[in-house]
Structure 1
Amino acid sequence: MTIQNPSPLLYNEDLAPAEERKWGAFSIFNVWTSDVHSLWGYYLAASLFLLCGSFINFVIAIGIGSLVIFFLMSLVGNAGVKTGVPFPVLARASFGTFGANVPALVRAVVACFWYGAQTAAASGAIVALLIRNESILAFHQNNHMLGHSTLEVICYVVVWALQLLIIQRGMETVRRFQDLAGPAVWIMMLVLAVYLIVKAGTFSFGSEIPRDVLLEKTKDAGVPGEPGSFPALAAVAATWITYFAALYLNFCDFSRYATDTKTLRKGNLWGLPINLLAFCLVAGVTTTAAFTVYGEVLLHPEAISAKFDSWFLALLAALTFAVATLGINVVANFVSPAFDFSNVFPRQISFKRGGYIAALIALILYPFAPWETSAAHFVNFIGSSMGPIFGIMMVDYYLIRKGELNVAALYQESGEFRFRNGWHRNAFIALVVGALFSSILPTFTSILPEWWATYGWFFGVGIGGIVYYVLRASARGSAVGAAT
């Protein structure tokens, strides 16, 4: 679709509706392999496995969570296929042509946090390999800078810089890279699992880990109930769903390149419920086998591979985990802020420049390492901040506009989505109310019960979406695009 006479404050070639749609089901599938098959994804899956307490509990909790993820991704993905626009442009329909910069910047900041977390995880895998050498281990223990060991800083900067090489070539290079990175980590995960099962001499799923060990490892997870209890299983499903909170917003950044909705559905089906459950099961088996072999619960795969007797196998594991983490950073934490920052200043910031800005922010954040907390706490806090945005956008697109959107008007300053000087007051009222209950009150006060934060994203989606719908329904004449 060609946009006629777009406003230069709202348009550049990167933000324009996608014209070339070459992404098939395999590429969509690998969006999810790249997004999940990372060190952080494994760490979260292994952590949630401990909270389930048994094989069947894990399958139920993760299975239900994965089906919900599939449904939610289909909602935003179909909007991307139909309109061909990236997330910040789609947000203009509900937040206004210029108001959309606020949710875009929220998503960009979250991406910068995750970029740093994933880069730190990838560099940690390299560090774990290098310190097998005694002299490097001594350097690691005795030399420090920026609150980390000097070796950790060096590895972080190297991994950080390697990712810039990928984004320089644009979205088609991103697609090719993820088509290689996703399957590669699957192979390495299976090698890791088989190696440990053979070394353990038995195949089991959780039964080898004593109850007292499970209780000790999960006592600070911030999840109500003991492992295996209904509250714990509900929290596992909720945390798994919340882990994808960022991509619920910007999956249209990728689905806009899909050939059609049938292709998108096929890629999502294999990449989400099927792939997610299989990946989590491998993580659970590996965690159990590692406990049998080494006598301790190892939630980080690089910590497991560091114990391998074979240096070559440890090297292969470290490199594969690093590549996998590069994959998720490029997919989830480069592409989104690249479009988001470009949306704020389309004349000055291109897709590539937006990605460079995100990378620079992640580099600045490294000395503070805000991601160094428990998996469940970090995921739920980061995810809850984006719940209201998702709720508002989906209510606007599906309930108010019935899936019909004037795409050309998204690029016009004085068009349908101008609202009040480019800002939609109703959307921001709903955003503030939703954020109050999803992240502000549960994080900074003790007014709400402790379990509330685990479900913060859901409260944000529901409250933000309902408030927005009520405000729109009661607006003057209830006309779509009315200046309210």
Structure 2
Amino acid sequence: MATYSLGATGVSGGISLAHVILTIFAANLVIGAFMLLTADIGTEHGLSFAVYLRAPFGIYGTHLPAVSRGVVAAIWFGIQTYLGALALNGIGEYFLGFSNWFLWYAAFAALQVANTAMGIKSVERLAALAAPAIIAISVWMYFTLDGIAQTKGLNIWNADLPGSMSLAVLFVANMGFWSTMAIDIPNLTRFLETEPSRRFARRNRNVFAAQLVALPLTQALIAGIGGVSMIATGNWNPIEVIQGDATGLSLLVLLLLVVLAQWSTNNSANLIPSALTFVNLAPRVINYRIGVALAGIVGTLSFPWLILNNLFVFLGYYGAFLSSIGGIMVADYYILRKRCLNVPALYDPEGQFRYAGGFNPAGLAAWVIAGGIAAWFVDYAVLIGCPLGLVLYLCFSRAAGLARYPQAEIIERFPDRFLATSVGKSWVHYGNGRFGREPA
């Protein structure tokens, strides 16, 4: 739903519909390619985002960037739930004569939390049902909105609304939109079926179609329809458009499709990542189900309906700090460790990832500096944060970090024992702090 807002904002900023669609397609192609890189952490080692961050940030330092991502995910849960609640409220108004969006919000939030708490299989089943809903909404909206535009004598492809937004700002905002999933995609890819192989493409073949085809195409399509909605009606919100144009059963079906679309996105993109960061924060106190409930509470207390009114500001500032985490992850995983990882040490409070009292100064300094500079130049935050985080982390690590805190997988002359899927193995925890690798 928020993707409609991105497209509409571009159009209302004076960018043509065609340029909005092409810009958002290109932005998602770039962010999708970046997701391929971070996805390998899940497909190779089976690690969640928060656990992996112990490598560049330390066993306690991981909580700072991980929880920041978790809070952003929880806020997005609140935003998506609010939009879904508006759809439910539309159904209530039409069929029951009852209007109270906050009650619908509370009920919808509770339903999503309960579904997500049931585990990844429950989420997968819902996604299989809801994914076609997103396409169905988009197809219906395009033809309906194009018809409205034609009755007003408007050509959606030639419309020129006044505004001064640049393509670069729209490009960066859309990259910020998905920077959350770009860094914590291992939370999902660790569940994928993988083929043991040293070849990156073969090992991650199930990721390629999702990130380089499905994501750019659907994001560009949906954002484009948001632009069409703005041109035809002056309103980006498809819920309100649906309520104004549909009646009876068609209204019920379309609003239910909106609810399904919000629900499926929220589970995988927001509730699961947020819950896992909270679990990692205090695993002896917070289990997965409690983490999911906490994500729902945090998302609601953020007053997401107010944040939605300042979406581009929100995208810019969180994109600055999350994109710098992405740069640090790529530098650590690919350049320093060359995909090798001492996984057992990630769970050893006295092991190599303890660094200085559990905090890696190189990772934390790179994150704060890169994120701060990117936030200062917020219109171009993602373009600055990611490469700057990568460069600063490498410089700080090589200047002092690696000499002071030796890393076994970097020192090892024959590091295959620190690989998993590439060599046909899977990491296994036997209990009592003992790890091993077994055939995948």
* Matches of 2:66 and 2:175, distance apart in 1: 21
* Matches of 1:262 and 1:51, distance apart in 2: 42
Any conservation in 1 of the 2:172–2:381 contact (CA below 8 Å)?
no
1:471 to 386, 396, 406: 396
Alignment partner of 1:84 is 2:85: no
Aligned twin of 1:398:
334
Any conservation in 1 of the 2:274–2:291 contact (CA below 8 Å)?
yes
Any conservation in 1 of the 2:5–2:226 contact (CA below 8 Å)?
no
Any conservation in 2 of the 1:196–1:286 contact (CA below 8 Å)?
no
Any conservation in 1 of the 2:8–2:230 contact (CA below 8 Å)?
no
* Matches of 2:230 and 2:305, distance apart in 1: 28
TM-score, normalised by the number of residues in structure 1: 0.76
TM-score, normalised by the number of residues in structure 2: 0.83
* Matches of 1:52 and 1:262, distance apart in 2: 43
Residues 238 and 469 (structure 1), Cα distance of their counterparts in 2 relative to 1, 3 Å cut: same
* Matches of 2:131 and 2:406, distance apart in 1: 41
Deviations 1:395-426 (A, max 9, x none): 11111111111112111112221212221111
Amino acid at match of 1:357: L
Deviation at 1:198, TM superposition (A): 4.8
Aligned twin of 2:384:
459
* Matches of 1:171 and 1:475, distance apart in 2: 41
Residues 309 and 320 (structure 1), Cα distance of their counterparts in 2 relative to 1, 3 Å cut: closer
Residues 415 and 321 (structure 1), Cα distance of their counterparts in 2 relative to 1, 3 Å cut: same
Any conservation in 2 of the 1:53–1:206 contact (CA below 8 Å)?
no
Aligned twin of 2:435:
none
Aligned twin of 2:209:
269
Amino acid at match of 2:390: G
Q: Secondary structure at the match of 1:417?
A: helix
Residues 238 and 182 (structure 1), Cα distance of their counterparts in 2 relative to 1, 3 Å cut: same
Aligned twin of 2:15:
53
Aligned twin of 1:255:
189
Deviations 1:94-116 (A, max 9, x none): 01112111111111111121111
* Matches of 2:136 and 2:171, distance apart in 1: 26
Any conservation in 1 of the 2:57–2:359 contact (CA below 8 Å)?
yes
* Matches of 2:250 and 2:81, distance apart in 1: 22
Any conservation in 1 of the 2:275–2:288 contact (CA below 8 Å)?
yes
* Matches of 2:227 and 2:150, distance apart in 1: 14
Any conservation in 2 of the 1:116–1:362 contact (CA below 8 Å)?
yes
* Matches of 1:476 and 1:236, distance apart in 2: 37
Any conservation in 1 of the 2:4–2:225 contact (CA below 8 Å)?
no
More helix, by proportion: 2
Aligned twin of 1:284:
224
Query: Aligned ranges for residues 285-324 of structure 1 at < 5 Å?
Result: 285=225, 287-288=227-228, 291-292=231-232, 296-324=233-261
* Matches of 2:117 and 2:276, distance apart in 1: 14
Aligned twin of 1:163:
112
Any conservation in 2 of the 1:66–1:273 contact (CA below 8 Å)?
no
Deviations 1:176-222 (A, max 9, x none): 2112211222122212223344565589863363x3xx22xx5xxxx
Amino acid at match of 1:61: T
* Matches of 2:46 and 2:257, distance apart in 1: 33
1:183 to 132, 135, 159: 132
Residues 402 and 271 (structure 1), Cα distance of their counterparts in 2 relative to 1, 3 Å cut: closer
Amino acid at match of 2:346: L
Deviation at 1:167, TM superposition (A): 1.5
Any conservation in 2 of the 1:73–1:251 contact (CA below 8 Å)?
yes
Deviation at 1:65, TM superposition (A): 0.9
Deviations 1:441-462 (A, max 9, x none): x3xxxxxxxxx21212332222
Amino acid at match of 1:433: I
Amino acid at match of 2:2: W
Residues 189 and 396 (structure 1), Cα distance of their counterparts in 2 relative to 1, 3 Å cut: same
Deviations 1:294-317 (A, max 9, x none): xx3221111110111423222212
* Matches of 1:327 and 1:189, distance apart in 2: 16
Amino acid at match of 1:413: P
Amino acid at match of 2:125: R
* Matches of 1:83 and 1:199, distance apart in 2: 51
**Structure 1 residues 369-378 or 178-187, which shifts more?**
369-378
Amino acid at match of 2:216: L
* Matches of 2:183 and 2:278, distance apart in 1: 15
* Matches of 2:55 and 2:177, distance apart in 1: 26
Deviation at 1:90, TM superposition (A): 0.6
RMSD: 2.7
Deviation at 1:130, TM superposition (A): 3.4
